[in-house]
Structure 1
Amino acid sequence: MTLPITASTALGAHRERLLARAAELETRWYDPGRIWTGANGTPVSADEVAALLEEADKALDPDGWDPRASGLQQLLGGAGDVAYAAVTVLELIICADTDASAAQPLAWDLVPGRTAGEVRTLLRTGAAYAQHYGPGARRRAA
């Protein structure tokens, strides 16, 4: 089942199903804890990933938004361990939404017609995933 990542998905049952589907993919695709380890082997907390995705959401300017100038690549493309884990979380969300077997989150916003609202919803959904399913997550309500 495909659940659209749109601005209307920000709350409610659709997002809950999307998060649960992403958790299923994490379990199937990765060894325990794998996505919560940065590129250089440093553990990354759920709260660090959620915070980065929330910061990216706040930094994304919906007015005059240009994904090539201020999109996900610019917001999350750093080489840091937290960015590496955050991009992996976003891949889980995208794949849970589309039933794809892989996705490139740093190029996802470049799809023609993709809106700033959709990108913000992806970032918020990724943050919610980290808060609910990541190690040490506080399991806050979505």
Structure 2
Amino acid sequence: MSIMNSVQRGYIPLVLIALIVSLQAVLAGKEVACDAHFWADEGPNPRISCVTFEYPDRDYHCKPHSCTAPAKKGTQSWDKLQFGPCHRSGHPKVQITHVKQYFRGLGSVAVQDKAGDWWECNYFEDGEGNNGAITCTDCGSN
């Protein structure tokens, strides 16, 4: 019996190592394309809320440093994302340079700027740049 106990004790470290490795994969952040909705909470505990077209009922919470936006060459920080020209009733078309949140649809994106104003940016009529979406690499969901 004592030989069997010695063998079993030898496997305990191996089992613990396997458990730790498998748990790290579960705890690692998930990459998410914010292709349906994006919202930045830049308060005292900054966070990003991200929703995909694939899972529209799942709200991903992402770490701001892990989010990037498309750029002419590669990617850039999410806070550099721009839309434009964009329009709203009674105002001339403008370039939105500080995006607080957006909702993407089939032909346009509704963008809220940092001042809280909402703008409509058409993908095809107003320019290709309006079809961009933020991607985050360190996200979890509720």
Answer yes or no: same fold by TM over 0.5.
no
TM-score (normalizing by structure 2): 0.27
More helix by share: 1
Which protein, 1 or 2, shows the higher relative CO under an 8 Å CA cutoff with sep ≥ 6?
1
Higher strand proportion (structure 1 or 2): 2
TM-score, with normalisation over the residues of structure 1?
0.27
